[in-house]
Amino acid sequence: MHGLAVHPASVQDRDGARLVPAPLVGRMPRLARLWADAGYAGRLVGWAREAAGWEPEIVAKPAGATTFVVLPKRRIVERTFAWPGKCRRLAKDYEHSVASSEALIRLAMIGLMLRRLRPVR
């Protein structure tokens, strides 16, 4: 996990979208592209280009689609959101502070990465 940001429910997702990539500006020189949901199409795109030189790609439904459509990259995002949900403490939103939520998500993801390490022989 390279970026993580939890914000209170009073912050709209489109306004909180910068919180995730902002700490990565200048720290990850090979990062060139961001994928974002259509809900983030506003200010995030201009900010990413100006602040970091990244090329945001907005994943949106095809024009005229009125039913469910499988979107590219959506599975990757949904799968990543599901992994911390397997941890009992993160199955529901019990936390009272943003900092404790972020810490527990980091611990869950560290545990996931440690379980996936292969033993060196």
| 12 shares its domain with 31 | yes
Regarding whether 50 and 1 lie in a shared domain, the answer is yes
**Residue 80 and residue 56 in one domain:** no
Token pair, residue 90, equals 């993160």
Give residue 1's pLDDT. Answer: 47
Tell me, yes or no, whether 81 and 60 share the same domain: no
Low-confidence residues in the chain, pLDDT < 50: 1
Phi, psi torsion values for 7, nearest 5 degrees? -125, 160
Give the range of the structural domain holding residue 11, as residue numbers without chain letter: 1-65
- Other CB atoms within 10 A of residue 28 CB: 14
Domain count across the chain: 2
Residues 119 and 60 in one domain: no
The answer on 80 and 22 residing in a single domain is no
Q: H/E element holding 117?
A: none
B/e letters for 72-111, b = 16+ CB within 10 Å, e = fewer, are eeeeeeeeeeeebeeeeebeeeebeeeeebeebbeebbee
